[in-house]
Structure 1
């Protein structure tokens, strides 16, 4: 086995500050690769996502849920077999090429929230240890941003916010994770960099002043909504507001343990069915070993679902 290598891994719901957090990590001297997604009018400062990783995550989401962008709501009967086969054929090579044979020391993709169980074996096989960073944002702000850019209905955007944040607590909590509030990153960028230095074990100043002056501005945040706005929007999905309140109570810059992360996920699972997930979006059991069993068909019936079948669209 190769010597252990620790990387920064940024994951969280789309439109929740993952790009800002990734840029903060980059300003501290980490390297996310040379083939990053290009800027767009929707994200003019950059996504900081490696295209090979994004392509593989999209392919696995397509196999899991029928939607390569955000994941679709799926029926009860589904099999992870196509996604597992894809992961077995590709993930180990990507991890080796990106993190073992190159100088890449970090990555970012919101889709890791849902797909990480398919990557876990490859990371473990190559002794690559992710230090997980999870930005979070007011769910209604994220949902409205998603609606404005991708025309995803706000109600579905709220469900996707819950599914991604619930999944990241379940799927990426092997060694705990760092929570970052999008609002707090914008309000205190230099303090956020100090938090990241401590979490990642980095020395030196990096280019914090440049990051704060050139990258961050209030125009990154087009929606500012109150707790009452969120409460009204979540009248039919109170678990969304509850999970956001819980993350906020833990607070910006808090490192939560593996056990705490999974306890939050269990407590906020409104259906009480960890195997199915509250919205049926491909969520897997809490414990890594249990996830491996599901992915390998232990105790399940293979072929009991159609990954390409009809599902509710995300927009």
Structure 2
């Protein structure tokens, strides 16, 4: 490798093919904002912001990726082209060594220049203000200078930098590049980008400052590069702020971290100069220091080369070993998790079986208690009137017959149901004498119904538990036997509650009757609402006709116009056209529509004058109808002028400015915001 420094090389004009003159409209000055910076230093964020603020981006943009979710904002075709170019020069994008000097004098450089000219025209056309970004340009500025000259484009450079420790950490995570090698790559890009743009229109930007105060960064770029960003306005502020979120910065290094012993002095000095230039402006006194850094870096390259190569081999071996260990650990963890899951599943099944047994025992005790309570109630019923006792015995006999002949013919079942209805009718006649006993019996039925539901749930849980145990291990045959016994017991419990199904069917019949009654009430309520809605529309139409036919003609000839307008507003806003609360919002919207149709309310003017309404994002019409009118606020600029002239006062500055600037009112819907949003 030659000992000539890259800074001296940049001072020479490389020999390249003479490019044809670029076609562009006469009298137009083509400017390209070229974003330069190391990979992972915020070049995508800065270029994306320039695109939002009006710079034309390339036609074929590189798609977003996992490591750059907001997009790269650079040409995919030019990026692929530059990778091929670097390969032809014996280097690549992550090389920290200087470009081979002989490449610029070779015929290959001329071939690539012709291709680059065509690509630039294809991607940027004849844009008067475009933005171009690719970190590889930092090391190829002499080549691209010839391209820009050939297409008659004036480049103006935005050099963005980031803490080198953050850049190296990001490269290590994304590409597996050693931290120290990442620092050397950062130094190469920063020094060559600065040397290649010295004495030309340029601006230095700090990545953290871009994220914290993008407006100041945009103003600095306009001033330093002498360009005007056409979309730099409050209208796009939200778009830029949504794009430049703090989440773009995945690695954050404290400023004092750059002074750590791990960071070479060359990198500390270069980073310190870039930080000062970004904060206070470029200082020519630092040129000598930067030139010495670049020359020392180039001179030391042969010495560093073998060390870096050896370190790279060691890093690759370590990465392979770590990958192997990670894979082994993952396999071990997967096996341990599988064993743990199986053990947990078996323990859960055992606990479920035990819990089912305990719940079954509790349910049996509850059933015994309910049965005892039922026996006590039966004894109380026997002490009642002889006829009630006879009816009760007949009822129990009928229930026994229903249970015995449940699977019998339908005809017998219908006869039993008829008999049961007859008994219920007789019991109804004796309701006054047995009211207390019937309430107690109803409570018993509810409890039995709940017991039936719980028993069914327990039976389902027992089935699921038994199936899980059978799948888990064949050695759990003892648990399967116990499960069979539980199923038999559940079957017995089911048989015990079947005698209550007759009573349950009567309760369900009564529920269906109650449901029908509710449906009838809902239908009646619906008809009343529809009738009130029709009445609402009729009264609104009548009110509008009265205003247009009687009040408005008077307003045109009345000397006290402000008073008449207030009366019209009062007439509209105090008219009770809705009697039910659910229709209040509909009525308010119709009032608002009526006020706008008569020209009595200007929503845009009302929002402009009343800052509290504007800041809350409330619907102007609904706010005026519900609150503003009662508070004495004006509904339109005409009302404001008339009120002021009547009172002899002077309108407030905000109202006067809003009245002077208010255009003819368009018929537009108010924005649906906050609690006063229209539905």
Q: State whether TM-score is above 0.5.
A: yes
Aligned to 2:214: 189
Aligned to 1:225: 253
Structure 2 distance, partners of 1:98, 1:229, is 41
Aligned to 1:201: 227
- The yes-or-no answer on 1:251 pairing with 2:251 is no
* Aligned 1:51-66 pairs, distance under 5 A: 51-66=76-91
* Aligned 1:67-146 pairs, distance under 5 A: 67=92, 69-71=93-95, 73=97, 79-80=103-104, 81=106, 84-101=109-126, 105-146=130-171
- The yes-or-no answer on 1:158 pairing with 2:183 is yes
Secondary structure of the 1:24 match is: helix
Q: What are the Cα deviations for residues 256-315 of structure 1, in whole angstroms up to 9, with x where unaligned?
A: 48x67854530322517xxx46547xxxxxxxxxxxxxxxxxxxxxxxxxxxxxxx7998
Which has more radius of gyration? 2
Closer/same/farther in 2, CA of residues 277 and 212 from structure 1, 3 Å limit:
farther
Aligned to 1:50: 75
Structure 2 distance, partners of 1:151, 1:169, is 27
Aligned to 1:210: 238
Secondary structure of the 1:133 match is: strand
Do the aligned partners of 1:186 and 1:217 also contact (CA within 8 Å) in 2?
yes
Q: TM-score, normalised by structure 2?
A: 0.38
| C-alpha deviation, 1:165, in angstroms | 0.3
Say which structure is richer in helix: 2
Structure 2 distance, partners of 1:62, 1:262, is 31
Q: What are the Cα deviations for residues 127-178 of structure 1, in whole angstroms up to 9, with x where unaligned?
A: 1111111110111111101111111111000000000000101223351411
Q: What are the Cα deviations for residues 37-81 of structure 1, in whole angstroms up to 9, with x where unaligned?
A: 0001100001001112212221222222432x3235479886443
Q: What runs of 5+ residues in structure 1 fail to find an aligned partner?
A: 281-311
Secondary structure of the 2:139 match is: helix
Closer/same/farther in 2, CA of residues 44 and 20 from structure 1, 3 Å limit:
same
Do the aligned partners of 1:45 and 1:215 also contact (CA within 8 Å) in 2?
yes
Say which structure is richer in strand: 1
Structure 2 distance, partners of 1:247, 1:75, is 23
Aligned to 2:52: 27
Closer/same/farther in 2, CA of residues 249 and 180 from structure 1, 3 Å limit:
same
Structure 2 distance, partners of 1:190, 1:54, is 29
| C-alpha deviation, 1:221, in angstroms | 1.3
Pairwise CA RMSD: 3.0
Structure 2 distance, partners of 1:279, 1:107, is 30
Structure 2 distance, partners of 1:77, 1:175, is 23
Q: What runs of 5+ residues in structure 2 fail to find an aligned partner?
A: 1-20, 303-311, 317-679
Q: What are the Cα deviations for residues 91-140 of structure 1, in whole angstroms up to 9, with x where unaligned?
A: 22223333444577111111110112112112112211111111101111
Deviating more after overlay: 28-37 vs 212-221: 212-221
Q: TM-score, normalised by structure 1?
A: 0.77
Closer/same/farther in 2, CA of residues 75 and 161 from structure 1, 3 Å limit:
closer
Closer/same/farther in 2, CA of residues 189 and 104 from structure 1, 3 Å limit:
closer
Structure 1 distance, partners of 2:49, 2:301, is 32
Secondary structure of the 1:269 match is: helix
Structure 1 distance, partners of 2:53, 2:87, is 34
Structure 2 distance, partners of 1:109, 1:75, is 17
Do the aligned partners of 1:170 and 1:261 also contact (CA within 8 Å) in 2?
no
Aligned to 2:202: 177
Do the aligned partners of 2:170 and 2:251 also contact (CA within 8 Å) in 1?
yes
Do the aligned partners of 2:56 and 2:124 also contact (CA within 8 Å) in 1?
no
Do the aligned partners of 2:59 and 2:124 also contact (CA within 8 Å) in 1?
no
Deviating more after overlay: 180-189 vs 80-89: 80-89
